[in-house]
């Protein structure tokens, strides 16, 4: 830089701009700091910079020229002449800087010309004195930085914050708009501000509320867009902002006269388009011609959207609140007022039917009742035939097997109900997925029909997963049945297994690194519409006609997957088909898998005869069957009806008990609490729990206790007791 200053480049630059530097003396006499300052001033990439002598502007950089706009050249003129409108506020600071002090003023407003019109801008001034070698102040450097964007942003945020806090507790739409128009009018120094609601024809509108300066006529009333001219009609109907700067000069005389009747020369009108039609208007007005700044346009647009969104939320909330209040009043006086309120009741029922929850309850209960009644019909018919005289053993055995199979189907249906709600206590085990899918495929012909073929694809390497096998079978069958229903006529469904997969991001949740086993069912059916993809796993949603399904199938798949630590993905193209992929955690193979349990033999019954079991069951019928089952297997039995009696029996009895078999849900202390108490006081006494459904068991698992779900078979009960009664060395 010093070399550049010593040469002739700076002198040529100064002469080219006709800058006077006589007040500062010859270039050779300038101190180094002054030379450096001038060099910085000449570099136009820096902020605006002005160099003053004792009184006149000596030179400035190109960036300052942009601030001047159409003003005459500032070189050789006092700053007070260049910017007369600001000199009153800046004079004291300039004089202070000439005495040797540095002076700083932030966010100072100035009117500058941009785009042919004046605009308010904000600048930060920094006055720095320039001294010669003797320390005498010979000039001043004024660096100017424009801060308009940050000032305007802060103004906007502060206003929106004040408006939001003011409207927090307001619950009436008219009051919201009254406050908004007043605050906008005062903030922007307007003549008036108004909001209006459009008529159905998108021409007539009603100004519902306004704010005007004192002494101005109100704007509330009915109007037509056509009266304000073709420009207003065209722009507002198309969703464009209507900007009028000077109505008398800008508009035809007839249109300008309409604006003049409401005391408006300049207006900025924002349209609100909802569902493709002009719904409402928000306008800010001034009785004098006015160029609307970008800040004002952006602010009114944002305020309009926020206010109408807030009003819509209030209206929706009020509608729901009114409907609920009407329903409560109707229920309280139903018997006395049924005749006069029949019409209102029908209307309320129509509103409630629109809610997803009530619709779901209807679908859910209707479908489940249908399926359970089918099962009960089979059982009742089988019992009827069993009561027939002279029934041969073959038919008796067939009817007994039918009853047992039907009970198992009822258990699976109950499992579906709990699985979609993730309320079922699963019994996971480790098994190889390939052979299990092969076994499932063998029995799918009954579910899919003869015209639908299922093609199985499994990897050559073993793929082990940990899951509830029964629930996995149900999930695969449900996915296959869904594919069958989506396929018209004959087709082939592909059932594929892939191991060592990562789980992709699904429904807003991040993906997970594997390994996961991916079980896919692929069909070439009608596909699923994109707008339905987010709802197909919802148990409260079905596209099937009434009576053709409960809508629980895919819900069970989703509930089972989430409860097992996985998820389910669906991809579909309408008209081309759908792929459901069930992701389950993949694990290493265990040394041994559980084998089929043999029936009890004579030795086991002899050992059981030495064991006494305490049965805790409040239901007399269920308890009686449990006692009979255990006695048939040789156990000695004591039976109590509540957990409190069980604790008393164990404390005071003179006989030894070897295990406790307890229901979970009972009046008073539940079975789970009983088990925890015995774990602390009688750690040597094993406990087997049972339940048709327990929220505590479903949410917390078996919590370390042996558990069998109702309805249980005699073999399941026997095996559970044998497992807990093993000696520690055999376990």
Q: At what angle do helices 469-486 and 553-563 cross, to 10 degrees?
A: 140
Q: How confident is the model at residue 497 (pLDDT cuts 50, 70, 90)?
A: very high
Q: What is the pLDDT of residues 697-714, one digit of tens each?
A: 555 556 778 888 878 888
597 inside domain: no
Of residues 113 and 519, more confidently modeled: 519
Report yes or no on 351 lying in a domain: no
Q: Are both 436 and 484 inside the same structural domain?
A: yes
Domain C-terminal end among 89, 118, 146:
146
For position 388, which CATH number holds? 1.10.287
User: CA-CA distances (angstroms) from residue 409 to 305, 375, 438, 470?
Assistant: 56, 8, 21, 11
Residue 17 in this model has a pLDDT that exceeds 50 = no
Question: Domain ends where: 96, 121, 146?
Answer: 146
The dihedrals phi and psi of 397, each to the nearest 5 degrees, come to -65, -40
What is the layout of strands, in order, in the sheet containing 137-146? 57-60, 48-52, 137-146, 117-131, 103-114
Banded model confidence at residue 20, pLDDT cuts 50, 70, 90: very low
155 located within any domain: no
250 burial type by CB count under 10 A (0-12 exposed, 13-18 middle, 19+ buried) = middle
The last residue of one of the domains, among 87, 117, 146, is 146
Strand pairing category for 192-198 and 277-286? antiparallel
609 and 682 both lie in a single domain:
yes
> Do residues 434 and 577 both lie within one domain?
yes
Q: Which of the pair, 311 or 563, is modelled with greater confidence?
A: 563
Per the structure block, which two tokens stand in for 452?
A: 């639908």
Q: Which domain CATH number covers 486? A: 3.30.565.10
Same domain, 440 and 414: no
How far is C-alpha 189 from the geometric centre of its chain's CA atoms? 40
**Would you place residue 14 in the very low, low, confident or very high pLDDT band (cuts 50, 70, 90)?**
very low
Residue 624 lies in a domain: yes
Sort 245 into a burial class: Cβ within 10 Å, 0-12 / 13-18 / 19+. Answer: middle
Residues 664 and 642 in one domain: yes
The predicted pLDDT at position 710 comes to 79
Q: For residue range 237-283, list pLDDT tens digits in order.
A: 888 999 999 988 899 988 888 888 888 999 999 898 888 889 888 89
Q: Do 492 and 541 form a contact (C-beta atoms < 8 A)?
A: no
Confidence grade of residue 695 (pLDDT, cut at 50, 70, 90): low
Q: Average pLDDT of 353-364?
A: 46
CB 403 within 8 A of CB 383: yes
Q: At which residue do the structure tokens 């190109």 appear?
A: 62
pLDDT tens digits for range 626-676: 888 888 888 999 999 999 999 999 988 888 999 999 998 888 888 889 999
- pLDDT of amino acid 18: 38
Shared-domain flag, residues 295 and 170: yes
**Could you tell me the two tokens for 467?**
């899951």
The CATH number assigned to the domain holding 630 equals 3.40.50.2300
Q: How confident is the model at residue 579 (pLDDT cuts 50, 70, 90)?
A: very high
Task: Give me the number of domains the chain comprises.
Answer: 5
The reported pLDDT for the residue numbered 697 is 57
Q: Which of 50-64, 154-168, 195-209, 476-490 has the highest mean pLDDT?
A: 195-209
Which CATH number fits the domain that encloses residue 231?
A: 3.30.450.40
Q: What's the pLDDT score for residue 16?
A: 41
Residues 376-407 pLDDT 10s: 777 777 787 788 788 888 888 888 888 887 77
The alpha carbons of the chain give a radius of gyration, in whole angstroms, of: 43
Is 222 part of a structural domain of the chain?
yes
CATH number of the domain residue 70 falls in: 3.30.450.20
For all residues of the chain together, what is the average pLDDT? 76
- At 6 the pLDDT is 38
Residue 558 is part of which domain span?
Answer: 429-587
The tokens describing 229, both together, are 């001219």
Instruction: Flag the least confident range among 81-90, 320-329, 435-444.
Output: 320-329
Same domain, 444 and 508: yes
Do 171 and 307 belong to one domain?
A: yes
Is the pLDDT score of 346 beyond 90? no
Model confidence pLDDT, tens digit, residues 88-113: 777 777 777 777 788 788 877 877 76
What is the arrangement of strands in the sheet containing 687-691, beginning at the earlier edge strand?
Answer: 636-640, 612-616, 659-663, 687-691, 706-709
Q: pLDDT grade, residue 205 (50/70/90)?
A: very high
Compute the 3-state secondary structure of the chain and give helix, strand, coil in percent, each to the nearest 5: 45, 25, 30
Residue 501 has pLDDT above 70, yes or no: yes
Tell me, what's the pLDDT at 593? 43
Mean pLDDT of 204-217: 85
Residue 13, pLDDT score: 43
One domain for residues 211 and 134 = no
Handedness of CA 307, 312, 317, 323 (dihedral sign): positive
Query: Tens digit of pLDDT for each residue in 524-541?
Result: 888 888 888 877 877 656
In this structure, of 182-196, 315-329, 358-372, the range with the lowest mean pLDDT score is: 358-372
Question: How high is the pLDDT of residue 455?
Answer: 85
The DSSP code sequence of 506-550 is: BTTBPPEEEEEEEEEEEE-SS---GGGTTTTT-TT---SPTTS--
Q: Is residue 667 part of a domain?
A: yes
Burial code of 181-209, b = ≥16 C-beta within 10 A, e = fewer?
bbbbbebbebbbbbbbebeeeeebbebbb
Whether 730 maps to a domain, the answer reads no
Q: Any bridge partners for residue 338, and if so which?
A: none
127 is a domain residue:
yes
Which secondary structure element, helix H or strand E, spans residue 420, and what is its range? Answer: helix 393-420
Residue 338 neighbours by CB under 8 Å, 6+ apart: 345
CA distance 5 to 29: 12
Counting residues of the chain whose pLDDT is more than 70, the rounded percentage is 71
CA 50 to each of CA 62, 122, 588: distance values in angstroms, whole numbers, following the listed order: 10, 17, 77
Q: Are residues 444 and 386 in the same domain?
A: no
What's the CA gap between 213 and 189, in Å, rounded? 9
Q: Parallel, antiparallel, or unpaired: how do β-strands 57-60 and 103-114 relate?
A: unpaired
553-563 and 393-420 helices, crossing angle to 10°: 70
* Tens-place pLDDT, residues 408-451: 777 766 665 655 444 555 667 888 888 888 877 766 665 565 56
- Same domain flag for 651 and 703: yes
Q: What is the pLDDT of residue 8?
A: 42
What is the C-alpha to C-alpha distance for residues 421 and 48, in angstroms, rounded to an integer? 68
237, 278 in Cβ contact below 8 A?
yes
Is 321 strand, coil or helix?
A: helix
CA distance 691 to 708: 7
Whether residues 482 and 616 fall in one domain: no
Cβ distance 183 to 162 under 8 Å?
yes
């Amino acid at each position: 830089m010093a070399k550049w200053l010593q040469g002739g480049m700076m002198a040529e630059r100064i002469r080219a701009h006709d800058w006077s530097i006589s007040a500062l003396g010859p270039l050779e006499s300038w101190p180094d700091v002054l030379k450096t300052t001038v060099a910085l001033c000449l570099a136009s990439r820096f902020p605006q910079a002005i160099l003053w002598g004792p009184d006149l502007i000596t030179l400035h950089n190109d960036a300052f020229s942009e601030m001047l706009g159409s003003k005459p050249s500032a070189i050789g003129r006092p700053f007070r002449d260049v910017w007369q409108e600001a000199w009153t506020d800046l004079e004291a600071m300039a004089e202070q800087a000439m005495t040797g002090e540095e002076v700083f003023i932030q966010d100072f407003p100035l009117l500058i010309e941009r785009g042919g019109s004046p605009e308010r801008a904000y600048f930060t001034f920094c006055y720095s004195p320039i001294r010669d070698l003797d320390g005498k102040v010979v000039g001043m450097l004024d660096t100017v930085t424009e801060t308009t964007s940050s000032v305007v942003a802060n103004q906007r945020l502060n206003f929106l914050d004040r408006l939001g806090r003011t409207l927090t507790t307001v619950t009436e739409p008219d009051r919201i708009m009254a406050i908004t128009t007043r605050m906008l009018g005062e903030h922007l120094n307007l003549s008036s501000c108004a909001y209006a609601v459009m008529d159905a024809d998108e021409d007539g509108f009603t100004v519902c509320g306004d704010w005007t300066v004192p002494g101005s006529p109100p704007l509330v009333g009915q109007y037509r867009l056509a009266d304000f001219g073709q420009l207003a009609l065209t722009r507002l109907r198309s969703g464009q902002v209507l900007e009028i700067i000077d109505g008398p000069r800008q508009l035809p005389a007839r249109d300008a006269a309409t604006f003049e009747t409401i005391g408006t020369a300049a207006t900025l009108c924002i349209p609100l388009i909802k569902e493709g039609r002009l719904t409402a208007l928000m306008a800010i007005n001034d009785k004098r011609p006015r160029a609307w700044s970008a800040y004002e346009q952006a602010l009114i647009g944002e305020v309009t959207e926020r206010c109408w969104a807030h009003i819509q939320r209030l209206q929706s909330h009020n509608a729901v609140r009114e409907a609920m209040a009407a329903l409560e009043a109707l229920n309280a006086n139903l018997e006395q007022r049924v005749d006069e309120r029949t019409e209102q009741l029908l209307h309320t029922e129509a509103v409630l039917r629109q809610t997803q929850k009530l619709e779901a309850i209807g679908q859910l209960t209707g479908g489940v009742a249908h399926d359970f009644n089918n099962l009960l019909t089979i059982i009742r018919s089988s019992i009827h035939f069993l009561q027939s005289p002279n029934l041969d053993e073959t038919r008796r055995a067939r009817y007994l097997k039918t009853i047992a199979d039907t009970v198992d189907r009822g258990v699976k249906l109950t499992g579906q109900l709990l699985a979609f709600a993730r309320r079922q206590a699963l019994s996971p085990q480790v098994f190889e997925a390939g052979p299990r899918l092969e076994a499932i495929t063998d029995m799918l012909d009954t579910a899919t029909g003869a015209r639908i073929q299922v093609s199985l694809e499994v990897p050559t390497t073993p793929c082990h997963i940990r899951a509830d096998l029964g629930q996995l079978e149900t999930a695969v069958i449900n996915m296959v049945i869904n594919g069958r229903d989506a396929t018209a006529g004959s087709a082939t469904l592909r059932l594929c297994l892939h191991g060592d997969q990562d789980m992709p991001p699904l429904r807003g949740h991040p993906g997970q690194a594997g390994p996961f086993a991916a079980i896919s069912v692929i069909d070439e059916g009608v596909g699923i519409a994109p707008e339905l993809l987010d709802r197909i796993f919802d148990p409260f949603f079905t596209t099937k006609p009434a009576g053709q399904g409960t809508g629980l199938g895919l819900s069970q798949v989703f509930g089972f997957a989430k409860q097992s630590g996985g998820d389910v993905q669906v991809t579909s193209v309408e008209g081309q088909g759908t792929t459901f992929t069930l992701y389950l955690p993949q694990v290493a193979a265990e040394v041994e898998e559980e084998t089929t349990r043999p029936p009890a033999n004579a030795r086991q019954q002899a050992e059981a005869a030495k064991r006494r079991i305490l049965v805790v069951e409040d239901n007399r019928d269920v308890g009686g069957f449990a006692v009979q089952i255990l006695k048939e297997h040789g156990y000695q039995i004591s039976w109590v009806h509540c957990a409190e009696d069980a604790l008393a029996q164990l404390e005071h009895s003179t006989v030894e008990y070897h295990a406790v078999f307890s229901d979970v849900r009972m009046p008073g202390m539940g079975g789970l609490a009983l088990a925890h108490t015995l774990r602390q006081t009688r750690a040597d006494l094993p406990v087997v729990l049972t339940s048709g459904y327990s929220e505590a068991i479903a949410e917390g698992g078996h919590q370390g206790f042996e558990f069998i779900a109702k309805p249980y078979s005699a073999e399941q009960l026997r095996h559970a007791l044998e497992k807990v009664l093993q000696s520690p060395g055999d376990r």
